[in-house]
Structure 1
Amino acid sequence: MPHGFPPDLSPLRPGDHAVRIPGYRLVGRLGTGGMGVVYAALDSRGRPVAVKLMRSGMPPDVDHRHRRFQEEVRALQRLRSEHVVPLLDSGVSDGHPWLVTDYVPGRTLQRCGKLSGRRLLLLARGVAAALCAIHRAGVVHRDLKPSNVMVRPDGTPVVLDFGIARAADAQGLTGTGAPPIGTAGTMSPERYRGVSEPPSDVFAWGCVVVFAATGRLPFTASSPEEVMNRVLHSPPELHGLRGPLADLAVRAMDKDPKKRPTAEQLLKELDALGSPRSAAAPRDRPSRKAGDAATLLVLEMQQHHGNPVPWLRRNRERLLGEARRLGLTDRGLRDLVRRVAEEEYLELSELEEALAEIALRLAPHERPRYRGHPVDEDGLVALASGGAQEQALLRRLLGERSVIVERYAARHVCRHGLCVGKHLGRGCRVLRRLRSQVAEVVDRTREPLRELRHQIWAEHDTLGHPQILLPPDRELTDRVYATALLVRRRSAELDRHRAAVLALRCPTRWWTSQQEAVVRADPDTARGLAWVVIASVAADTARRFAEAAGRE
């Protein structure tokens, strides 16, 4: 998908084409909710943004509603945090308030699965940092929940949809006879009583942390009324979560808002939990107490991926000391560390392979990373769903830099049933097979893509429009890798890509031929998947052709 949006971006619906937001071009739907629709859009420079258009079902006092909305927007404009999506623009169109934010690639916490260890701590700390910034700006989020936390491909959380609920009611939390605005399961006791202050967000933070660790909220029941009763009168269920972070979450969910820590206090306590002295090995990885310090050292090394050599020179004795403590006395590891630390110049590829080998030897159970990004199946899918920078990195990992997958990531000790049961001690076969499948699909796209480019050129001049060609070769290749990964087997991803291609109307012969190929394609073969990939990455060009033809 162009411009960094996910390949499975939902297309615009018929009624969406009438929506006009000055300065922005809507290209698809990112989601819908009770407050409105979130569109994928491009600004005047072609940069990806998210546009949220509020629904019309607001309070009857329109002037007062707009005034409250603008007050909220001014408060949000004061926010400065990497963990809060920045507000770029706002206004009113045909009576509907709208706002524009940065587009954040990644997945919502709701879809991330269970987190543990360092990833869980990163999530908890990032959301607490977001609350600090929000509360300092005089805003109460009021609807912090897993679906409002976006997790970037590198694991950094970003809080979305903050404070907008204020615009839904000019009088406060509720209207006459109406239930409180928010989400059952993360709303604090005082929210049900009509009070909405910063401690309510802290309560929701505790709920989000429990969900991130266990996949379940601490207050659940079969109806919103039962959930409310549990929030008001029952202790939270931690679903097996234990340790200092669990204790902090329980304090955050205290029934009495005065007994909860503030967001600033949460952040301080989380910083203490995250120090090397107090951090523990992730619970979902093989136990190796002697390796805890080595694992933390590897994670620290990987955080300096931008310029690792100075860090390695400062810490090589620590690395060698941990290797000796683990019984890794082979000369190869010592020589590897000393070579990287002492040689004046190393090729980038040599340096990356050396760092990967060091990490593999010291912490083979640790989730492998490359330039700060996880290199396992979930991590690669996150890169495929990200923007242009993430997709370029994915192409390097699965293409020209596939050595990182084959010699490093696929050799780590994973916990897949297939690998543990049939290939014990021989590394991650799931990851190696995934790369092989993607490479086979990509190889099948090369010749058809060249032919497609010639067909597009043949029809380009008849429309006389200069901006309707396929993207540059490198960008096109990045998209091919990303799309091939997402549709490598029959799945909901594949069905969405096929549906989007077949639904797009473009009056050109080359696009008709692409759609016919997709209809005939057998998705159980690499060749069939290749046709879906080619049509999917060419869909933006087809849209531009259709727009140009419509203007004539």
Structure 2
Amino acid sequence: MPHGFPSDLPPLHPSDHAIRIPGYDLVGRLGSGGMGVVYAALDPQGRRVAVKLMRTEMVPDISQQRRRFQEEVRALQRLRDKHVVPLLDSGIAAGRPWLATAYVPGRNLQQCGKLSGQRLFLLARGVAAALCAIHRAGIVHRDLKPSNIMVYSDGTPVVLDFGIARSLGAAGLTGTGAPPVGTAGTISPERYRGVSAPPADVFAWGCVVVFAATGQLPFTAPSPEEVMHRVLHSPPELHGFRGPLADLAVRAMAKNPAERPTAEQLLKELDALGSPRPFAMPRVSRKTGDAATLLVLEMQQHYANPVPWLRRNQERILGEARRMGADRGLRDLVHRAAEARLGAAELDEALAEIASLLAPHERPRYRGYPVDEDGLVALASGGAREQALLRRLLGERSVIVEKYAAQHICRHVLCVSKHFGRGCRVLRRLRSQVVAVVDRTWEPLRELRHQIWAEHDALGHPRILLPPDQELVDRVYATALLVRRRTDELDRHRKAVLALQCPTCWWASQQEAVVEADPNTDKGLAHVVIASVAADTARRFAEAVRQG
């Protein structure tokens, strides 16, 4: 499809066309549930996202429903892990809360069939790592189940749907006597008794691992009531699943929450069993690679006159599509393109769709991290190691522009029309935009360092300097990317700078510059970046003054 979502994406319902979410174009439905409907959408930059719109009719108490929504937003904003879907945006549309998260391509665990060996271990460890991040943020997921776990083509799992998650310290959201919110078969014994805590998610992890290995949950019965009875009183059914991982899953499903390992302990024990290795993505090369990727590269070579090539290679294309399970709707598309029954613009879209269906692994990786717009933003939001890697990717032309932007297959409209097959223009443009901001920070930062030294000496305080040069460079790149690409991040950095009280002239001058800065210009963004990376120094100095 022109928008890059799967060709079998369910269409919008007639009533969906009246929904307006500012800045987002709804193109189909990804799913629906008790809390709301999840739409496939495009954001203002044309990126694929998932937009969840809450139902207003679910419960009579609308304030209760919005409270759940607000807790979901706060929970996702605290989470930073590659195994947890990131929150991008949120708001209210016509009285209905909504939020936008990254779109995760691939299949959910329920659609993957039985897993074994390294793929099963990778799934178990990834979900355990997600629970560690979730619990560190003070959250209980409360609905971990196979359909809420997406699996990338390299086997990496991502946990979705915090629609019923809640803060550990929050009051219960179900009324007295109300059934626990969640899915029968993964609900822990204590949840049926009204207690929600991290061990409940560990119990669900054990259920998910058994399902991944066998295709069946360990507690099944014809009715939810019978499932509850089995969970409370019967041992789990492993359906022939054996081995160290099965033993760990059984311990995770102990009736007594105190007897279960924590998520951190799960992770340590899994690491002791072995280190999972993500499955290698096919190398995009003209000499080596899987048949589907090589077919797309061959198609790119004939872009100037693709119709004769399509006529000669229809059976190859359809054969690869069938092998990858992506042939629905493709046969007619290839036939119409090969018979020259499409205009130039339609042919561009057809070629892009064929490429995306045959070579869906358009996320190149560098040292295990995805090198695309969302991946770079995730690096910018990470720690010192991630920010150092981000600076390498953005600051050294040979890494991102020459090695990745020139080779990888993507679905961006900018890259699949006249420049189809010539590299990712989105990555090139992103790098140039960030570098344009960074280039305006060096001279003001040098002057700011001198001001800090002089004023600290004059006041008789020890020198509380900016971070070391290398760390400073990494922070500048990370902050520049965040404020350049995301309005909410720009607002957050500005507010943090203006709210920080520090009794120095140099900090007052930084705050004044931020107030007067035009955020629509590279120079204005540079002022925000400089003040943001200097905020830690101001905070340390203010603390030293308070302590005497």
Shorter-chain TM-score above 0.5: yes
8 Å CA contact 1:142–1:163 kept in 2: the answer is no
User: Match of 1:478, as an amino acid?
Assistant: A
2:353 counterpart of 1:452: no
Change (3 A) 1:440 1:17: closer
User: Match of 2:81, as an amino acid?
Assistant: S
Change (3 A) 1:453 1:271: same
CA offset at residue 138 of structure 1? 0.7
SS at match of 1:98: strand
Deviations 1:411-431 (A, max 9, x none): xxxxxxxxxxxxxxxxxxx98
Instruction: State how far apart, in whole Å, the 2-side matches of 1:431 and 1:207 are.
Output: 35
Instruction: State how far apart, in whole Å, the 2-side matches of 1:432 and 1:86 are.
Output: 31
TM-score when scaled to structure 2? 0.56
8 Å CA contact 2:71–2:165 kept in 1: the answer is no
User: Match of 2:338, as an amino acid?
Assistant: E
TM-score when scaled to structure 1? 0.56
Question: Paired residue for 2:104?
Answer: 104
User: Match of 1:18, as an amino acid?
Assistant: A
Change (3 A) 1:75 1:234: same
2:352 counterpart of 1:475: yes
8 Å CA contact 2:126–2:156 kept in 1: the answer is yes
Deviations 1:345-381 (A, max 9, x none): xxx544x37xxxxxxxxxxxxxxxx5xxxx8xxxx8x
Instruction: State how far apart, in whole Å, the 1-side matches of 2:17 and 2:300 are.
Output: 39
8 Å CA contact 2:30–2:39 kept in 1: the answer is yes
Q: Which runs of 5+ in 2 are unaligned?
A: 303-318, 361-416, 418-548
CA offset at residue 66 of structure 1? 2.7
Instruction: State how far apart, in whole Å, the 2-side matches of 1:128 and 1:218 are.
Output: 18
CA offset at residue 482 of structure 1? 7.6
CA offset at residue 176 of structure 1? 3.3
8 Å CA contact 1:11–1:28 kept in 2: the answer is yes
Instruction: State how far apart, in whole Å, the 1-side matches of 2:343 and 2:282 are.
Output: 37
CA offset at residue 306 of structure 1? 6.5
8 Å CA contact 1:140–1:163 kept in 2: the answer is no
Question: Paired residue for 2:193?
Answer: 193
CA offset at residue 23 of structure 1? 1.1
With 214-223 and 89-98 compared, the bigger mean Cα shift is at 89-98
CA offset at residue 94 of structure 1? 1.9
CA offset at residue 399 of structure 1? 9.7
2:14 counterpart of 1:14: yes
User: Match of 2:28, as an amino acid?
Assistant: G
User: Match of 2:342, as an amino acid?
Assistant: L
CA offset at residue 46 of structure 1? 1.0
2:128 counterpart of 1:131: no
Change (3 A) 1:108 1:63: same
CA offset at residue 152 of structure 1? 1.3
Question: Paired residue for 2:77?
Answer: 77
CA offset at residue 396 of structure 1? 4.6
Instruction: State how far apart, in whole Å, the 1-side matches of 2:201 and 2:234 are.
Output: 19
2:157 counterpart of 1:157: yes
Instruction: State how far apart, in whole Å, the 2-side matches of 1:268 and 1:127 are.
Output: 13
User: Match of 1:452, as an amino acid?
Assistant: L
User: Match of 1:269, as an amino acid?
Assistant: E
User: Match of 1:128, as an amino acid?
Assistant: A
8 Å CA contact 1:144–1:162 kept in 2: the answer is no
SS at match of 2:51: strand
- Size of the aligned set, in residue pairs, is 341
Question: Paired residue for 2:399?
Answer: none
2:20 counterpart of 1:26: no
Q: Which runs of 5+ in 1 are unaligned?
A: 280-298, 308-347, 354-369, 381-391, 402-429, 457-468, 484-540, 542-552
8 Å CA contact 1:23–1:44 kept in 2: the answer is yes
Change (3 A) 1:303 1:205: same
8 Å CA contact 2:185–2:227 kept in 1: the answer is yes
SS at match of 1:90: strand
Deviations 1:167-223 (A, max 9, x none): 9xx851532332111111000000000000000000000000000000000000111
CA offset at residue 4 of structure 1? 2.5
SS at match of 1:452: coil
Taking only aligned residues, the RMSD between alpha carbons, in angstroms, comes to 3.5
Change (3 A) 1:63 1:480: closer
Change (3 A) 1:476 1:231: closer
Map residues 281-292 of structure 1 onto 2, 5 A cutoff. Answer: none
SS at match of 1:49: strand
CA offset at residue 397 of structure 1? 9.4
Question: Paired residue for 1:395?
Answer: 296
8 Å CA contact 1:174–1:194 kept in 2: the answer is no
CA offset at residue 239 of structure 1? 0.3
Question: Paired residue for 2:545?
Answer: none
Change (3 A) 1:97 1:46: same
With 4-13 and 210-219 compared, the bigger mean Cα shift is at 4-13
Instruction: State how far apart, in whole Å, the 2-side matches of 1:238 and 1:18 are.
Output: 47
SS at match of 1:205: helix
CA offset at residue 303 of structure 1? 4.0
CA offset at residue 68 of structure 1? 4.7
CA offset at residue 274 of structure 1? 2.1
8 Å CA contact 2:2–2:349 kept in 1: the answer is no
User: Match of 1:25, as an amino acid?
Assistant: D
8 Å CA contact 2:2–2:352 kept in 1: the answer is no
CA offset at residue 91 of structure 1? 1.4
Question: Paired residue for 2:258?
Answer: 258
Question: Paired residue for 1:244?
Answer: 244
Instruction: State how far apart, in whole Å, the 2-side matches of 1:255 and 1:173 are.
Output: 24
Change (3 A) 1:262 1:51: same
8 Å CA contact 1:79–1:86 kept in 2: the answer is yes
Change (3 A) 1:94 1:442: closer
CA offset at residue 268 of structure 1? 1.2
Q: Identity percentage over the alignment?
A: 68
Question: Paired residue for 2:216?
Answer: 216
Question: Paired residue for 1:323?
Answer: none
SS at match of 1:34: coil
SS at match of 1:158: strand
Change (3 A) 1:444 1:140: same
Instruction: State how far apart, in whole Å, the 1-side matches of 2:91 and 2:105 are.
Output: 24
CA offset at residue 58 of structure 1? 4.4
SS at match of 1:2: coil
SS at match of 1:88: strand
Change (3 A) 1:54 1:393: farther
8 Å CA contact 1:139–1:163 kept in 2: the answer is no
Change (3 A) 1:399 1:228: farther
8 Å CA contact 1:173–1:195 kept in 2: the answer is no
8 Å CA contact 1:185–1:218 kept in 2: the answer is yes
8 Å CA contact 1:140–1:162 kept in 2: the answer is no
Higher relative contact order (CA 8 A, sep 6+): 1
Change (3 A) 1:394 1:138: farther
SS at match of 1:89: strand
Change (3 A) 1:443 1:53: closer
SS at match of 2:3: helix
8 Å CA contact 1:26–1:39 kept in 2: the answer is yes
Change (3 A) 1:175 1:433: closer
Deviations 1:265-294 (A, max 9, x none): 11111112224xxx9xxxxxxxxxxxxxxx
